[in-house]
Each structure stands twice: as structure tokens, then as C-alpha cells.
Copies of this chain bind each other. A is one copy, B any other.
């Protein structure tokens, strides 16, 4: 009765050409760079083709009845499970809450799917669940539905968590790469690189003079403050896998607008800069879990900065760039010494399993 798997595989269209170069999934396919982008484009977007998916947003935005909703999902596979400044449970709540916020939505309901590895200490799971609940309370969301699966020892890695989220869009403003216009200002909500460096430091067993903690937090409150103040936000993007550089490249590509960044305005803490040098990382590409870019109409940039700086999660906010008249969709960075270079997606993989 066993059917040959290859027989099942033979049905349907064949795999798109570029994958002949990559017969197998590599770690870099999850790293936030070029390979991941290619995988998502060729594998998933081409297969699941629909208008909602094609916006290349952090979530899908649609209307049901008279209500406009955002819907998003992320799986969390970070290791170690506990790190300075947080754990996988908090991350699973904040990450999805932030994706909803990046759609301009007020996060409301989360689902939680756990994939547990046989042998996981029950105490660890308990602590993670407790953290998730505390994070949900902080972020103003409820965990309303869930699922638990267990896989054999050696077929998982402690615990993986998926969360999906639903948020309500209360302000009717098209927040998406397509809304970005020449002249728009690029605002960054604070210093970058802490999450990735905190994780790498733990993994590598590095000790610095000061502890670098992840910036992991829910930024939805800050985003709602901007929306409530009527700031004309054109696009929002959180700076997770691939960091600030990958986020801005994605926006530039999707909008077809070029963006110029000023390195001297991008805050990086001294300890993070030092750690990056030691680890051979570029802070521009390092993951964050509580930082985002807001691309706003030029007339609203100053007011938006004031609002951000008045919020605990935006104290270090700064104007880091602007959208130029050039329509090549490229990102350039003016360095501290005044030279300019083009910013691209990472071709390899920088930090595996960072979220």
C-alpha cells in the first residue's frame, strides 16, 4: 500500500529554475538576506499568489464587515531560549504585536502554537508561558487560542513558538511601501543592534564591561501615539532579521523610491559598536526587536520626532534619512567621513536563529 513519495511529488508544476542552484534549504534561507528574499518570492509568493500577499507588508490588511483588520504571523526559533533582556515567550508576543503595529493596527488577539521537544523541562515551559502572559498584558493583547504539539527528542530544539495576531485598523491611512513618496522623511525610533548583539554575546560566551540587553519590547503604544496625533505616516517597518539595512532596502525596492541615509544620525551604543567590531558584524544588519522606521510626510517629521522622543521606547529617536526624487529604488548611506555607498541585502547569513 505504500505509495512512492516521488510519485506524489511528480504531480503539479516543477520547481522554479533558480532552485536548481539551491537543491536544499540552507541556514541562510532564514537569515533575512538575499536567499530568504528569493525563497519567499519564488517559493511562496508565486504559489500563494493573491493581492493581499503581494503588498509585501508585515501583515495582511483587509476588511471584514465594517471593520478593517490586520493579520500576521511569525514563528520563533531563537536560541538560547533565555537571553539578556528577554526570552522566547516575550519575543513571540512582542514580535507579532510589532508586526501588527507596523500595519498601523491596534493589536488585539493572539494565537499561540507550541512545538515542544520531548524532554523539555516543564519548569522552562512554565516560565516561558508566564512571560508570554506578562508580555501580553503589557502590550494590551489577549492570547485567545492555541495548540500544543510534541516532537521526539532530537527532532526539535526545546521549544518553537508560533504566534499569529489580529489587530484593528482604526485610522484609515494606507501604511505600506506603495505610499512612500519623494521628500518623505525616514525616522528611526532609537539605537540599533542590541538584540542581535545580546544573543550573539550569550552564544559566544562573551563578557563586556556593561551588559548588553535585547531591546525586545512592544512598540504598538508608540505607533498608536503617532497615529492618534494625526501624523501622516506613509510606511512603518520593524528592524528584525537583517536589521535596519534590510528593512530599508525592502521598502525602497517595493516602493520604487530611492532613500538616502545619514550614518551619523543612526544611534548605536558604544558597547554595541565595540561588540560588533569584535564579532565582525555591521550594526546596520543586526536584528532589533523594539526598533522601527517610520517614513512620514516631510511636514510632519518634526512633530513625529517630538512624539517619539516623549515615549519611553522612542527616547533616542532620530531623523536618519529622506526619500529622494530618484526612482531607481536604491538605498545609499552617507558615511561619517562623508563618502556614500549603496546599501544592499546581505548575500550570506549573518545571525542564524535570532528570532
Contact = CB atoms under 8 A, between A and B. Distances in A.
Contacts of A211: 1, 3
Interface string A310-322: 0000000000000
B146 A44 contact: yes
A108 interface: yes
A276 interface: no
One complex includes copies of this chain to the number of 2
With most chain B CB atoms within 10 A of its CB, the pick from A50, A72, A149, A201 is A149
A244 to B, nearest CB: 20
Interface in A179-234: 201-202, 205-208, 210-212
A299 interface: no
B151 A43 contact: no
B50 A143 contact: yes
B25 A111 contact: no
Interface centre among A59, A80, A143 (most CB of B within 10 A): A143
B77 A142 contact: no
Contacts of A144: 50, 52-53, 60, 62, 71
A228 B127 CA distance: 45
A48 B157 contact: no
A15 interface: yes
Contacts of A338: none
A127 B69 contact: no
Given A71-B111, A73-B147, A82 B8 contact: yes
Contact of A123 (B15, B40, B77, B124): B15
Contacts of A145: 52-53, 59-60, 71-73
A126 B8 contact: no
A350 interface: no
A166 interface: yes
A318 to B, nearest CB: 26
A144 to B, nearest CB: 4
A336 interface: no
Closest 3 CB pairs of A and B: A30-B150, A65-B67, A164-B164
Interface of A: 1-3, 5, 8-9, 11-16, 19, 22-31, 36, 39-40, 43-44, 47-48, 50, 52-53, 59-60, 62, 64-67, 69, 71-77, 80, 82, 84, 87, 108-109, 111-127, 129-134, 136, 142-152, 154-157, 160, 162, 164, 166, 168, 201-202, 205-208, 210-212, 352-353, 355
30 contacts: A1-B84, A1-B208, A1-B210, A1-B212, A2-B201, A2-B205, A5-B80, A12-B130, A22-B122, A25-B119, A43-B125, A44-B112, A47-B126, A47-B130, A47-B133, A50-B144, A52-B109, A59-B145, A60-B109, A62-B144, A65-B168, A66-B67, A71-B144, A73-B111, A73-B147, A74-B147, A75-B149, A75-B162, A115-B160, A156-B157
